[in-house]
Amino acid sequence: MRQFLARRAVASLVSLAFLVIAVFFLSRLTGDPTDLYLPVDASLEAREQFRQLHGLNDPLIVQFWHYLKDLAVLDFGESIRRARPALDVVLEAFQWTLALALSTMALVTVSAIVMGALAAFHVGGVFDRIATFFSLIGASAPDFWIAIVAIVVFSVQLGWLPTSGTGTPLHWVLPIAVLFIRPFGLILQVVRGSMITALGSAYVKTARAKGVAARPIIFVHALRNAMLPVITVIGDQLAGMLNGVVIVETVFGFPGIGKLMIDSILQRDFSVILASIIVTAMAIFIMNLLIDMAYAVLDPRIRY
């Protein structure tokens, strides 16, 4: 198990290195920040001073070398837009995305597992058909459309919920509700399919023949063996949220990492762009390691 995790760690670090190289050079294609931050009639001296201050005078390969040397001592550079350390800016935004993602996935995981397991136990019944119908709608509904409709209905027409911000618990209701729908539909379908297979296995049939109650059969005997593919899907959905739910954060004015990335690209804030990519990639890397360890807990054979 340790060797497996070590190999995964090395592979992730190699992927991160290639990602940093690609983002560093591609971000420079967006243009010169000098044209964005200084007025059109700025003097050549002022433009030269601005470029010198932010290390933009050197050739790209020299800029990249300086960035790598700073990164080796965990110096992510300074935000041009905010005149603050880029890492501080990114971590402030990332904590909002992390809170939003974990809150949503906690609700999604519990509700999808319970409803998917019950739908599989009553396969073909009314509950199964209703759950399948709504899960398929949720899995295929576009986030941006749901977000706009939710604002129009619950904020504009009914006036129940605020349209944007993070000031009160009510501000979190619409973003979480919109983010909830798609992963709920996907995970419910995976749980249902895995549970149907598990409930048809020999050990479950034996438990039923012995008169074991329905609840222990579903949530003790069958669910654990059905969880491996479910954990994979949960991890993928959580990684997508950690990567920045750009549409939802933009529509609701949520100050998360996705909105920060978009703003930084438009503002040509190169240090913040790179810091956002690195922090997000490391978070996904840690999450994938946790999922691998969860596999070993659920299935002891994986440890060997």
Distance CA 218, CA 254 (A): 39
- pTM here is 0.78
Q: Name which of 28-42, 97-111, 250-264 the model is least confident about.
A: 28-42
- Assign 212 a pLDDT band (cuts: 50, 70, 90): low
Residues 64 and 111 in one domain: no
Residues 295 and 268 in one domain: yes
Indicate whether 80 belongs to any domain: no
CATH of the domain at 169: 1.10.3720.10
pLDDT in tens, 146-188: 888 888 888 888 888 888 777 788 888 888 888 888 888 888 8
Domain range for 105? 86-303
Residues 94 and 171 in one domain: yes
Domain count, the chain: 2
Distance CA 223, CA 187 (A): 14
Residues 170 and 42 in one domain: no
Q: Tell me, what DSSP letter sits at residue 221? A: I
Residues 96 and 141 in one domain: yes
Indicate whether 117 belongs to any domain: yes
Residue 70: the pLDDT is 84
Residues 115 and 156 in one domain: yes
Contact 1, 303 (CB under 8 A): yes
Distance CA 292, CA 284 (A): 12
Extract the tokens encoding 34: 């000098």
Go through the chain and tell me how many residues it has. 304
Distance CA 37, CA 24 (A): 20
